[in-house]
Amino acid sequence: MHVAPFNIMTLFNEFFKGIVKENPTFRLVLGICPTLAVTTSLDNGLGMGVATTFVLVFSNMFISIVRNIVPKKVRIPIFIVIISTFVTTVELIMAAYVPDIHEALGIFIPLIVVNCIIMGRAEAFASKAQVLPAVADGLGMGIGFTMAVSIISGVREIIGSGTILGYEIMFSGYSPAVIMILPPGAFITMGLILCFFKYMGNLLGRKV
């Protein structure tokens, strides 16, 4: 088992790779259920992103702490217990302090447990890394996810209701395309954004 040497540069690398190079949503296409389900408005998207980031950072931290005590065979159930503990924590916190976002996200807060990004990071990174790199990785992936969800929910809110964070921004007389905040709109937005990133990737790749 290789453990990366410990210095500031590797920490920065672990942090930034989740934001662009290995963005969990746009590059790896993981955890798409919440990405499509809750992105009907920007504040819901942000709420989901922050909740997921919280869970990612703390589950990565604790999984990394217990990585040497946990027997290999039962590691998945133990990871699940750790992750769902933090999900329950975040659910109770949100119910207490931001009840309307808690209401809007509904069943998708407990479903953070089965978000493939979190299990994926636990299995692929946190269970093999020291605590600080694991936290940096979780934070980077979380911010990458939050950015992706914000982009999608921003697009859907602007086109679908003509507002951003609840403020009117489109010209008067703009009639919102309601389809964008309904389920089909989620698929369309995600497909076109993925296509855009792939197109840019192809363009940049050709130049080099």
Partner 1 sequence: MEKANLLAIFIAVMITNNVILSQFLGLCAYFGVSDSLRSAFSMGITVTFVIVIASAVSWFLDYYLLIPYHMEFLKTIVFILVIATLVQLIEMFIAKNIPLLQRMLGIYLPLVTTNCAVLGITLVNSNEGFNFIESLVNGLGAGLGYMLAICLMAGIRGRLMFAKVPRAMQGMPINFLIGAMMALAFFGFQGFLIK
Nearer to partner 1, 32 or 170 (CB): 32
Smallest distance from partner 1 to CB 6, Å: 31
Smallest distance from partner 1 to CB 9, Å: 32
Q: How far is CA 175 from CA 160, 166, 179, 180, in A?
A: 9, 16, 12, 12
Smallest distance from partner 1 to CB 185, Å: 8
Q: What angle do CA 46, 86, 104 make, to 5 degrees?
A: 35
Which positions lie near partner 1, rule CB under 8 A? Answer: 29-34, 36-37, 76-77, 80-81, 84-85, 87-88, 91-92, 107, 110-111, 113-116, 119, 179, 182-188, 190-192, 194-196, 198-199, 202
Nearer to partner 1, 51 or 136 (CB): 51
Q: How many CA atoms lie within 13 A of 123 on its CB side?
A: 12
Nearer to partner 1, 6 or 187 (CB): 187
Nearer to partner 1, 16 or 197 (CB): 197
Three-state SS for 93-151 is HHHHHCHHHHHHHHHHCHHHHHCHHHHHHHHHCHHHCCHHHHHHHHHHHHHHHHHHHHH
Smallest distance from partner 1 to CB 114, Å: 5
Dihedral angle at the C-alpha atoms of 109, 112, 114, 117, nearest 10 degrees?
160
Enclosing H/E stretch for 13: helix 8-17
Smallest distance from partner 1 to CB 102, Å: 13
Nearer to partner 1, 174 or 199 (CB): 199
